[in-house]
Amino acid sequence: IALHFANIGLEVLLLDIVPFDLKEEEKANPKMRNKIVNDAFTFALKSKPAQAYNPESAKRVTLGNFDDDMSKTKDCDWVIEVVIERLDIKKQVFEKVDALRKKGSLVTSNTSGIPIHLMAEGRSEDFQKNFCGTHFFNPPRYLRLLEVIPTPNTSTEVVDFLMNYGDVHLGKETVLCKDTPAFIANRIGFYSGNKVGELTEKYGLSIEEVDKITGEPLAWPNTGSYRLLDLVGLDTSVKVTKGVIDNCPDDEFVKIIKNKPVHKATQFLLDNNYLGDKSGQGFYKKTDQRDEKGGRVILALDLNTLEYKPTQKVMIPVVGIAKKVEIMDKRLKEMMASDENSGHFVRDLICGIIAYASNRIPEISDNIYSIDNAMKAGYAWTYGPFEFWDMIGIAEGAAIAKNLGEVIPAWVEQMIKDGVTSFYKIEDGKRKYYDLDSKS
């Protein structure tokens, strides 16, 4: 995040903690006191894809630590908190910031799940007015989503500023979110990720098959679902799931999965600390072996035997359909109509996502386009849930979903009754969305 702001030309002060385990003779050494921030910044500069736009960007970041340099925040126009996901620690940081900051300066949190309003409790009136959630998706230079989450006390001028600044200067798709668990993108992502796991088991598919289906055929990133879990980190995914389960007792999907045991493959990976790329292996495992073409041999976890085996190339009917049918709405309908397991997988997954997303209004958003935009910018989906639904047809999609046991909300049923046939339409060269309040 520091580098993303430096990339657009701003001077940035980046602070982290002083190491807890310094020896007595190291405690006065500035280099040792800044060891954590120095090491993390060096790692960020070496990461691929590159986080810094050019060497000049890195020079605009000044490094320091909380103990020695916190007073410098008094000169900052915007203070962003990105510390560990613990409310008590965040509140301690904000107490210090509140005592030092200049009046009118912005203060925001990059939390991915802690309620924003809880962090502002006990802070000054000026702090609360200028405080907001700003959730950057990682890596910030490449993923376009910036979720802006105000509290009831955040001033409308601050919200308007952040929405505009994120868009114009930070190059983001800024999405206004409600202060609900996991906000928008990770809430829908919680459902889609867990649903993929459920359907993998239901239809007896391998992780390689699922990754082939949940990539290019659906116009999703070609990593696929399990490869993406390895990239993000299984522990991160589990944390998001736990957060939603703990804080959303009325969520219809939470009621289904909260008492289900963790899948044995997930438990196996967690027990062995096989969390994905960060630990060297997860659902996939890279080896030093080479295949006949010289490529690195990658093993995939067998979900039944819990053994790693060479990845298999298999014929998957819906992937064949996707290769033949370029136009997405036609492709989606043909994939969903396939009577093979892969077709049932696509049908159940897409109908589940559209039903789940529609039931989150007005809980997480008052409009459909914020949900679509969040999934496209945060998860790199080409189409959001309501855009998928338009491809199937509102009435047709609702009928298929209901046959699968999904619940369609009253506002969608009313749309169908009123003869509304799409969530979006082009009119006078402008793209318009269906507004629930005005029914137009």
Residues recognised as catalytic: 135
Helix (H, G, I), strand (E, B) or coil at 148: strand
Q: Which strands sit side by side in the sheet containing 284-290, from one edge to the other?
A: 284-290, 296-301, 308-310
End-to-end CA gap in the chain: 39
The amino acid occupying position 297 is V
Rounded Cα gap, residues 141 and 139, in angstroms: 6
Residue 368: other Cβ atoms inside 10 A: 22
Q: Which residue has the tokens 């989503």?
A: 145
Angle 370-192-393 (CA atoms, 0-180°, nearest 5)?
A: 65
For residue 333 the two structure tokens come to 């309908």
For residue 49 the two structure tokens come to 């894809």
Q: Left (φ > 0), alpha (ψ -120 to 50) or beta: where does 306 sit?
A: left
DSSP structure class, residue 174: E
Question: Closest Cα to residue 53, out of 114, 4, 109, 116?
Answer: 4
For residue 361 the two structure tokens come to 């209004």
Rounded Cα gap, residues 108 and 439, in angstroms: 35
**Pairing of the two strands 145-150 and 106-109:** unpaired
Helix (H, G, I), strand (E, B) or coil at 426: strand
Angle 185-188-194 (CA atoms, 0-180°, nearest 5)?
A: 125
Distances (CA, A) of 63 to 29, 36, 51, 71, 102: 15, 10, 16, 14, 21
Q: Which residue has the tokens 């915007």?
A: 78
For residue 213 the two structure tokens come to 């289906």
Cis peptide, bond prior to residue 362, ω within 30 of zero = yes
Q: State which H helix or E strand residue 216 sits in.
A: none
Rounded Cα gap, residues 178 and 163, in angstroms: 14
Q: State which H helix or E strand residue 14 sits in.
A: strand 12-16
